[in-house]
Structure 1
Amino acid sequence: MGFSSAMILNWLHFWDVALALMGLFIFSCLLQRFTNKNGPMLWPVLGIAPSIFLNAHTIYDWVTMALIKAGGTFHYKGVWFGGSHGIITLDPSNIEYMLKTRFSNFPKGKYYRERFHDLLGDGIFNADNELWKEQRRLATSEMHSGRFVEYSFFSMQELVHKKLLKLMEKVVVSGCSIDLHEVLLRFTFDNICSVALGADSGCLELDLPQSPFVKAFEEATELTMFRFMVPPFVWKPMKLFGIGFEKRLKEATKIVHYFAENTVKDRRGELKRLGSLKDRFDLLSRLMDSEKQHFSDKFLSDFCISFILAGRDTSSVGLAWFFWLVQKHPEVENKILKEINEILGQRQCTEKESPDGDTVFTVEELKKMVYLQAVLS
């Protein structure tokens, strides 16, 4: 079968266009690499997306090295027409400028809010302007109250002695290994649920059970981040038709909201039955028992979900790094132990211990641990 001259010309034109586009692609890559020597590679059309997927298995190490190489700050762009572009920074002066000096110049905006709305609703982490100010005012006033501080302290103390130390003793006796980061995640989750909702998530029991709420919360936060990695013309149709990761996200957020909404509903019923929540000091109860204003159940649910998100990963990751660094610097560990032993040496023999014989530190003793506080900072 022969080829007509028209077919041959079309074929040649196709390869001319293909080679021209390939040349343009290579030229754009080289140009971007020369003009952006410090930041991660921004590919033509696809932006930073290929770099993220190529390094997905070591994403935290990759981001850390990229920030170090760029001097702490770099620009990024996402897929064309995806609306994703901005700056990633860990420079303290930049962070202070955004969060303090010119905070009003950096609202979250529609791009951020619509991606987190299914999980966080109008909670403080997803609020702007007056709504954010109101929630911050409420959180600050309640968290700084003497009753809440005292409740938080004793909740933490009880969680450490009745759950965390018992779990560690079991690990030592059995001689098995354990993922410390996972234990600390469970520890901080139990603590924040107690402080925020006055509820026990139950994920730090001795057998380390898998809590549906905890699992759903983790999955919902991870899947929500995918919305920042793909353009809206991809994830929005997926959400509409309930396919892919959007289907899993919908199922996870449903479990999270069901738990939070039921907790609010039960507490509301308790308030109506008793007429007051004066014997409860968790954040949800204090907001609900406020005589000054009435908050809707949705507002309280969104507020508490954001509070859980704020108090879980931050504390657990900080503690994991703390123990890793202490293990790497035995001289620091020795100074911490020396300070603790000196404080214990100042105790009177009549001072009490816990029923299980564990050493229980008072607030005054903890304030004396200046070196430990410096290390934690």
Structure 2
Amino acid sequence: MTNLLSFSAILNLVGFWDVAFALLGLFIISCLLERFTNKGPMLWPVLGIIPSVFLNVNNMYDWATVALIRAGGTFNFRGMWFGGAHGIITIDPSKLEYMLKTRFNNFPKGQYYRERFHDLLGDGIFNADDQMWKEQRRVATTEMHSSRNSVIDLQEVLLRFTFDNICTAALGVDPGCLALDLPQIPFAKAFEEATELTLFRFMVPPFVWKPMKRFEMGYEKRLKESVQIVHEFAEKAVTERRNELVRLGGLNDRSDLLARLMEYTDQNPEGQGTQKRFSNKFLASGANAVILKNQLIMMQFLQWKN
């Protein structure tokens, strides 16, 4: 009886190691095939691009630039299994023109993207699709070509590249990041942290970040706190501007995007009077979207210049 038990234990042990070595061999073969067939970043079994991202988190832009050059300007990526993260990263001008101009309607942001950014950007232009995006873009484009805008020294803007400029253009508020003592501005710090933590949602599957959000755990708790600071700042600016509009009856002396959106109204069916088109919450979300978009553009530009 003892011999039979020992023999059974040996078989179980052998079976375990067989499976372990088989899985190890499969892992190694998968890595080798991926390395020799994929010109872009390494896509690891199960984890996808996540290990490559974390290994290069301190030199992200340099790493991404080298990867794009090695891949000829375009590469595919995927995230963790069952996370739904997959797509294409490209700097090919012809592909960008195809997506942003030629067939723009075929490339909406979609639910996957909007769901992750909704806490921070709401339904602002940077997180909107279809008719809502068209409406906001039309208003923004009108303001960009408005004769009421003052001339901007582009060189000065590039030299100043700061959070102050972006907030001034979107909200008409100078947060004071360039004060002589270079103080730490809670809104600027919270906005940067909220952006980074929101992007982290793209690295992990929904069954990880959604429960963390529900129970306010880990980085999702910090994200909620940062988003609250961002929203309070933006909503305060919107409320003050709304009061100014009511008090003065117009915002002609203002040339920021918030003022133009706030003045945009529709005539009622009888043509008498006007009705408010955008809510304060909507205006705050839209302003945050513009700040984020311009911040990312300027970061990419300076990285290219360097």
- TM-score, normalised to structure 2, is 0.89
- CA change 1:280–1:209 in 2 (3 A) is same
Tell me the alpha carbon deviations over residues 159-200 of structure 1, each in whole angstroms, 9 at most, x when there is no partner: x6xxx9xxxxxxxxxxxxxxxx9x8443xx212222221111
The structure showing larger relative contact order (alpha-carbon pairs under 8 Å, at least 6 residues apart) is: 2
Indicate if the aligned counterparts of 1:142 and 1:286 stay in contact, CA closer than 8 A.
Answer: yes
Q: Which moved more, 1:298-307 or 1:212-221?
A: 298-307
Shift, 1:321, TM fit: 5.1
Residue number in structure 1 paired with 2:20: 18
Tell me the alpha carbon deviations over residues 268-316 of structure 1, each in whole angstroms, 9 at most, x when there is no partner: 1222223222332222122212343521112211111111112234235
- CA change 1:319–1:11 in 2 (3 A) is closer
Secondary structure at 2:174 match in 1: coil
- Identity, in percent, stands at 65
- Paired with 1:113 and 1:106, the residues of 2 have a C-alpha distance of 13
Indicate if the aligned counterparts of 1:33 and 1:41 stay in contact, CA closer than 8 A.
Answer: yes
After superposition, where does 1:227-306 map in structure 2 within 5 Å? Answer: 227-292=201-266, 294-306=277-289
- CA change 1:41–1:321 in 2 (3 A) is closer
After superposition, where does 1:144-183 map in structure 2 within 5 Å? Answer: 144-147=145-148, 149-150=149-150, 153=152
After superposition, where does 1:10-159 map in structure 2 within 5 Å? Answer: 10-36=12-38, 38-147=39-148, 149-150=149-150, 153=152
Tell me the alpha carbon deviations over residues 303-333 of structure 1, each in whole angstroms, 9 at most, x when there is no partner: 11111112234235535754x5xxxxxxxxx
Q: Does 1:310 align with 2:293?
A: yes
Residue number in structure 2 paired with 1:366: none
Amino acid in the other structure paired with 2:42: M
Q: What root-mean-square deviation, in Å, do the aligned CA atoms of Structure 1 and Structure 2 show?
A: 2.3
Tell me the alpha carbon deviations over residues 181-226 of structure 1, each in whole angstroms, 9 at most, x when there is no partner: 9x8443xx21222222111111111111110000001111111111
- CA change 1:30–1:254 in 2 (3 A) is same
Tell me the alpha carbon deviations over residues 40-61 of structure 1, each in whole angstroms, 9 at most, x when there is no partner: 1111111111111222222221
Amino acid in the other structure paired with 2:109: K
Amino acid in the other structure paired with 1:272: V
Amino acid in the other structure paired with 1:45: V
- Paired with 2:93 and 2:123, the residues of 1 have a C-alpha distance of 28
- Paired with 1:209 and 1:240, the residues of 2 have a C-alpha distance of 34
- TM-score, normalised to structure 1, is 0.73
Shift, 1:32, TM fit: 1.9
Residue number in structure 1 paired with 2:270: none
Q: Which has the larger radius of gyration?
A: 1
- CA change 1:291–1:235 in 2 (3 A) is closer
Task: Structure 1: state its 5+ residue gaps.
Answer: 165-180, 325-377
